[in-house]
Chain A
Amino acid sequence: GAVVSQHPSWVICKSGTSVKIECRSLDFQATTMFWYRQFPKQSLMLMATSNEGSKATYEQGVEKDKFLINHASLTLSTLTVTSAHPEDSSFYICSATSGSYEQFFGPGTRLTVL
């Protein structure tokens, strides 16, 4: 199956700093990428939908100025958590699709904000 990678796999940062997470589709072109957040023992919660070359669509309650999404190419989307706070600590997962109903998930990035 198609492969989606994320980098870094985990990151620890100080409160107030910004963190960038990369999501790459390795062997296919992703017209759409999705960013999810997952808290312990909870299901994945969609944060935003990103289409290549256009602005991301954010879900209700997700601050677009805090979670900056850039989908610069058909194989790369980035999520930047700006001015991170401890409550932003979570497991961030991206998924990618080439337009079919198949979505491929990345391995996730564990963010810990001290």
Chain B
Amino acid sequence: KNQVEQSPQSLIILEGKNCTLQCNYTVSPFSNLRWYKQDTGRGPVSLTIMTFSENTKSNGRYTATLDADTKQSSLHITASQLSDSASYICVVSAEAGTALIFGKGTTLSVSS
């Protein structure tokens, strides 16, 4: 069964600190893995998209890694800001143009 699992479920950190979110998947065949940021009451916004051959991709203070062999991904947030408080969702696609498989997300709270 195709599944995407994320950990931790929630996380609280102080402003300025770094954090790493984890994602494990069992989706096969694998096309790509995405990380989205979803603010409360808003639609998801894409942070990174990685295909099978990519190991790491950065978008500003966000760096995603992918290990296709172990089927694991991580999202590292550097120098967190209050505006980083949101739900971070790991999403895997089996084939281009097909429905996405969503993780349940990690709720990040950044406090001052």
* Residue ranges of A at the interface with B (Cβ–Cβ < 8 Å): 1, 4, 6, 32, 34, 42-46, 49, 91, 93, 95, 97, 99-108, 110
> How far does the alpha carbon of A14 sit from the alpha carbon of B105 in the complex, in Å?
32
How close is B31's CB to chain A, nearest CB, in angstroms?
A: 6
> How far does the alpha carbon of A5 sit from the alpha carbon of B36 in the complex, in Å?
17
Q: A95-B43, A101-B32, A110-B41 are in contact. List 12 more A-B contacts (CB 8 A).
A: A4-B43, A34-B100, A43-B89, A43-B105, A44-B102, A45-B102, A46-B99, A104-B46, A105-B36, A105-B44, A105-B45, A106-B43
> How far does the alpha carbon of A105 sit from the alpha carbon of B96 in the complex, in Å?
16
Contacts A32-B97, A102-B49 given; does A108 touch B31 at CB 8 Å = no
Q: Which residues of A contact B44 (CB under 8 A)?
A: 44, 93, 105
The interface bits of chain B over 54-96 (1 if a CB of A lies within 8 angstroms of the residue's CB, else 0) are 0000000000000000000000000000000000010001001
The interface bits of chain B over 28-55 (1 if a CB of A lies within 8 angstroms of the residue's CB, else 0) are 0001100010000111111001010000
> How far does the alpha carbon of A6 sit from the alpha carbon of B43 in the complex, in Å?
10
* Residue ranges of B at the interface with A (Cβ–Cβ < 8 Å): 31-32, 36, 41-46, 49, 51, 89, 93, 96-97, 99-100, 102-105
The answer on a CB contact under 8 Å between A107 and B43 is yes
| Shortest 5 CB-CB contacts between residues of A and residues of B | A105-B43, A101-B96, A43-B102, A108-B43, A43-B104
Q: Which residues of A contact B103 (CB under 8 A)?
A: 43
Q: Which A-chain residue is minimally distant from B36 (CB atoms)?
A: A105
> How far does the alpha carbon of A42 sit from the alpha carbon of B6 in the complex, in Å?
13
User: Which among A4, A42, A91, A106 is the interface contact of B41 at CB below 8 angstroms?
Assistant: A91
> How far does the alpha carbon of A43 sit from the alpha carbon of B96 in the complex, in Å?
21
The answer on a CB contact under 8 Å between A34 and B99 is yes
How close is A26's CB to chain B, nearest CB, in angstroms?
A: 14
The answer on a CB contact under 8 Å between B49 and A101 is yes
The answer on a CB contact under 8 Å between A108 and B105 is no
Contacts A32-B97, A43-B105, A49-B99 given; does A108 touch B49 at CB 8 Å = no
Q: Which residues of A contact B51 (CB under 8 A)?
A: 101
The answer on a CB contact under 8 Å between A99 and B46 is no
Q: Which residues of A contact B93 (CB under 8 A)?
A: 101
